[in-house]
A and B are shown apart, each in its own frame.
Chain A
Amino acid sequence: MRLLGVVVGAFVWLLLAWAGTATATDDDRHRQVLLLYAESRLAPGLVAADAGFRSAVSSGFGAPVDFRTEFLDLPPTPDAGYGRRLRDLLRLKYKDVHLDLVVVLAARALRSALEYRAELGPSVPIVFMGVDSPGDLELPGDVTGVQMSLDAMDTLGAALRLQPETRRVVVVGGTSALDKRWIAAIQAVFAGAPAHLEFIYVADLPLEAVASKLAALPNGTIVFLVAFQRDSTGRNLTSVDALERLAETSRVPIYGLGSTFIGHGIVGGRLIDWEKQGTRAGELALRVLRGEKLGPADIVTRNTNTYTFDARQLRRWGLKESRLPPGSVILFRESSVWERYRWPIVGGLVLVLLESGLIAGLVIQRVRRKRAEAETAVQRGQLAHAQRVTAVGELTTTLAHEINQPLGAIVSNAEAARRLVDLAEPKRTDLLETLGDIIDDGQRASEVIRRLRAMLRTGTAEAKPCDINGLIVEVMKFLEADLARAGVSTELRLGEGLPLVRGDAIQLQQVILNLALNAEDAMANGAGEPKRLTVETTERRPGTVEVCVRDTGVGVKEGDLEGIFKPFVTTKTSGLGIGLSISRSIVEAHRGTIRAERNPDRGLSVRVELPCGVAP
């Protein structure tokens, strides 16, 4: 029993589902909508209204809608023969078509739709748009639509706000039926205009004549373009084309009626929004298509027009945006770069600011660092000097010897000279030779003093291109006597054509001095071992010069190699242990490196690598 119930239930459900589908299919029937236009062609306002309507219906209705369009191409004056033939055509055309809705634009088309209702299907509801005074017509119960306001007065008001000096309004129109009808409508509207305004109607001239008229208008005048679909010569135009021609030469601003004028030369106004007419009509059409019965009571009377202005024209005529009615839409605003690219600009500015901040920060940091570096450099200079004095102090004995040696020779020679003079027959050549020796020794002594002074010179480090080989030779001369006394043989292997090193000569010499003195000390106690100091310079890598100071001394244990560059680390009984540490700080201030390595046989090699052309 239960199973049967389930089977029956499923069957019923399937039936219902099928029925639902059937209903849906019925609803999917293509709706036939006829768009009826009195015009013979696609006028801009028509196109906008048509597009607004179609878009509202297509997007709002679930089922497919077929749009048919009929351009009635009505003659300017009623023509009985044309009307008959049109009726025949429509009957023939729509005999077998079941229309669901007829949509018309403007009063003329509405009148035609009512006239040919029998041919289009007597029971087909009608929705109109762009009709300014539907009340003038006798409308059946199934006709509804969207009323269009002719806001010429509002436009005039706006114009007067923009141009309070206005005294004259030239109303321009064409000669087509629509043109004329609308001029009449506008004339009616302007009847209620302020009394001080003079209205001149220009509606029966060739386009060129109108243009030249506008070109000669005096100040205090504005132009109001109504519609211009044909001029007095019978030339068909669109209002937009006419407007563009007139705007070219007009001496005064032009205002207008419809939204299609905007962008073609009018300043603006409260313009008929054709697209919105279409949209509103589309909304009514949707309701009708869904089966609602709408009649004249449902006519949409709400004003759909908006104050719309052309920013380029405002600027052209020097009119102030601030005087526009509130809520005005301003088109074609030559968006200033700012308006167009606000966010990119804001973003860019933020980036620039951030970057500037960063740069400022870095600059400040750099300044601080420079200052700190300068202070450090001064301190390093002082420390280096102190260490230099200490290092040189260790050479006191040698130096005294170095100076006393020539002094001793000078004194002895002078004494000898005196004795030579005292001889009964002084030998001139001996005397001259002795005096020559005295001069030589005097110079030798002063050279020693000069080197000493150079070594002990104080002052801030200055970066200059230095010939590293020259510096080494100078230092080795300074140390020559001391090394010789210590029994150290010296070998200089100086590379040729080395690039110049940029740095402070005295500080670089100090490094060489320290390394050489260390080497000498390391070899001091080597009994019987050959004592050899080698100073080598090479351009090991392009752009750097390497100075290698090699000794055959006691060396340093592998593990202590790095430690010897630390301050107060010493293996010597005398000395503070700051020589190598100072040397390292000097080398590093020159952006160089210093490292020590054990020689394969015995002793130590200290390698100093200095970049060329880099300031400390």
Chain B
Amino acid sequence: MTDGPIVYVVDDDASFRKAASRLLRTAGLEVEALASAQEFLEHPMADRPSCLVLDVRMPGPSGMDLQAALQKSRRDIPIVFMTGHGDVSTSVRAMKGGAVDFLEKPFRAPELLACVQRGLARSEQSRVERAEHAAIERRFATLTSRERDVLWLVVTGLLNKQIAGELGIAEKTVKIHRGQVMQKMEAGSVAELVPMAQKLRPAGSKP
């Protein structure tokens, strides 16, 4: 159960918090209920698929404030907003900020559960993506400086000869480097290597 999905419910209203938590638990979900944005920010985050069910209107930092704070600290958790009295501008802001959905209280169980499931799915997916990314990063880290140069030129579609010309080395040497890159990056073909390079690009230096 420890790495199963977890749902955080943040609402200042104790009775609503309890009700929402209870409902989610009946759906077999693990729930943690918190009374304020501050409490959530201070709460240690488990490395599990998670979803945040968040009340917009709270004393102290509001739900929107919490969303902004999470983005700023790059804490990626899908948010399902709830509000007792929604207005268009708030909901638009929330959705633009990447919210899963914007629910108006009172809402039916299927609505909430569907949203939470979507949130958890998104969380799961981003966990997978993050894991893949980390693996590619790890492989990329094993490449030598020359091998990295060759990688970037390979994924731009240059031939070995052109690469040799570009780097001012022998075509034969290029071939050896290329073989190392394909092996270290665990890529069977250039077609497999390209998406890996794309994922690396934001962190990498070469265009």
Q: CB within 8 Å of B: which residues of A?
A: 396-398, 400-413, 415-416, 418-420, 423, 430, 434, 437, 440-441, 444, 484-485, 487
Residue B161 is within 8 A (CB to CB) of chain A in the complex = no
A409 to B60 Cα, complex, angstroms: 22
Q: In the complex the two chains form, is A412's CB within 8 Å of B22's CB?
A: yes
Q: B154 → chain A, closest Cβ, in Å?
A: 54
Q: In the complex the two chains form, is B85's CB within 8 Å of A404's CB?
A: yes
A402 to B83 Cα, complex, angstroms: 11
A485 to B37 Cα, complex, angstroms: 13
When distances are taken between beta carbons in the complex, the residues of chain A under 8 Å from B25 are 416
When distances are taken between beta carbons in the complex, the residues of chain B under 8 Å from A412 are 16, 19-20, 22-23, 106-107, 109, 112
A-contact 0/1 string along B46-84, CB 8 Å cutoff: 000000000001111000000000000000000000111
8 A-B residue pairs with Cβ-Cβ distance under 8 Å, sorted by A, are A400-B84, A404-B105, A409-B15, A409-B20, A413-B19, A430-B22, A434-B22, A485-B58
Q: A419-B26, A487-B60 are in contact. List 9 more A-B contacts (CB 8 A).
A: A405-B13, A405-B16, A407-B105, A408-B19, A412-B112, A413-B22, A416-B25, A416-B109, A419-B23
Q: In the complex the two chains form, is B26's CB within 8 Å of A420's CB?
A: yes
A430 to B23 Cα, complex, angstroms: 11
Q: In the complex the two chains form, is B22's CB within 8 Å of A416's CB?
A: yes
Q: In the complex the two chains form, is B85's CB within 8 Å of A401's CB?
A: yes
When distances are taken between beta carbons in the complex, the residues of chain B under 8 Å from A404 are 84-85, 104-106
Known contacts A403-B84, A437-B15, A444-B15; is-contact A415 B105 (Cβ 8 Å): no
A406 to B85 Cα, complex, angstroms: 13
Q: In the complex the two chains form, is A409's CB within 8 Å of B13's CB?
A: yes
Q: In the complex the two chains form, is B85's CB within 8 Å of A440's CB?
A: no
A18 to B149 Cα, complex, angstroms: 169
Q: In the complex the two chains form, is B18's CB within 8 Å of A485's CB?
A: no
Closest B residue to A402 by beta carbon equals: B84
Q: In the complex the two chains form, is B105's CB within 8 Å of A405's CB?
A: yes
Q: In the complex the two chains form, is B85's CB within 8 Å of A397's CB?
A: yes
In the A-B complex, list the 8 residue pairs whose CB atoms are closest, starting with the nearest: A408-B105, A401-B84, A415-B109, A400-B85, A404-B84, A419-B26, A411-B106, A412-B19
Q: In the complex the two chains form, is B59's CB within 8 Å of A487's CB?
A: yes
Q: A346 → chain B, closest Cβ, in Å?
A: 80
Q: In which size bucket is the chain B interface?
A: 20 to 34
Q: B81 → chain A, closest Cβ, in Å?
A: 13
Closest A residue to B11 by beta carbon equals: A405
When distances are taken between beta carbons in the complex, the residues of chain A under 8 Å from B20 are 408-409, 412
A408 to B15 Cα, complex, angstroms: 10
Q: B136 → chain A, closest Cβ, in Å?
A: 42
Number of A-B pairs whose CB atoms are under 8 Å?
93
Known contacts A404-B84, A416-B26, A419-B109; is-contact A409 B59 (Cβ 8 Å): no
When distances are taken between beta carbons in the complex, the residues of chain B under 8 Å from A407 are 105-106
When distances are taken between beta carbons in the complex, the residues of chain A under 8 Å from B187 are none
When distances are taken between beta carbons in the complex, the residues of chain A under 8 Å from B109 are 412, 415-416, 418-419
Residue B206 is within 8 A (CB to CB) of chain A in the complex = no
When distances are taken between beta carbons in the complex, the residues of chain A under 8 Å from B19 are 408-410, 412-413, 416, 437, 441
Closest B residue to A411 by beta carbon equals: B106
Residue B27 is within 8 A (CB to CB) of chain A in the complex = yes
When distances are taken between beta carbons in the complex, the residues of chain A under 8 Å from B43 are none
When distances are taken between beta carbons in the complex, the residues of chain B under 8 Å from A420 are 26
Which B1-36 residues have a C-beta within 8 angstroms of A? 12-13, 15-16, 18-20, 22-23, 25-27
A423 to B22 Cα, complex, angstroms: 14
When distances are taken between beta carbons in the complex, the residues of chain B under 8 Å from A415 are 23, 26, 108-109
A343 to B23 Cα, complex, angstroms: 99
Closest A residue to B56 by beta carbon equals: A401
Closest A residue to B113 by beta carbon equals: A415
A413 to B24 Cα, complex, angstroms: 10
Q: In the complex the two chains form, is A485's CB within 8 Å of B108's CB?
A: no
Closest A residue to B105 by beta carbon equals: A408
A506 to B59 Cα, complex, angstroms: 28
A157 to B173 Cα, complex, angstroms: 181
Q: In the complex the two chains form, is A413's CB within 8 Å of B23's CB?
A: yes
Which B114-151 residues have a C-beta within 8 angstroms of A? none
When distances are taken between beta carbons in the complex, the residues of chain A under 8 Å from B84 are 400-405, 408
Q: In the complex the two chains form, is B85's CB within 8 Å of A441's CB?
A: no
Closest A residue to B61 by beta carbon equals: A487
When distances are taken between beta carbons in the complex, the residues of chain A under 8 Å from B57 are 397, 401, 485
A485 to B16 Cα, complex, angstroms: 16
Closest A residue to B26 by beta carbon equals: A419
Which B172-187 residues have a C-beta within 8 angstroms of A? none
When distances are taken between beta carbons in the complex, the residues of chain B under 8 Å from A401 are 57, 83-85
A259 to B31 Cα, complex, angstroms: 130
When distances are taken between beta carbons in the complex, the residues of chain B under 8 Å from A485 are 57-59
Q: In the complex the two chains form, is B59's CB within 8 Å of A484's CB?
A: yes
A403 to B57 Cα, complex, angstroms: 13
When distances are taken between beta carbons in the complex, the residues of chain A under 8 Å from B108 are 411, 415
When distances are taken between beta carbons in the complex, the residues of chain A under 8 Å from B16 are 405-406, 408-409, 412
A434 to B84 Cα, complex, angstroms: 21
A434 to B57 Cα, complex, angstroms: 24
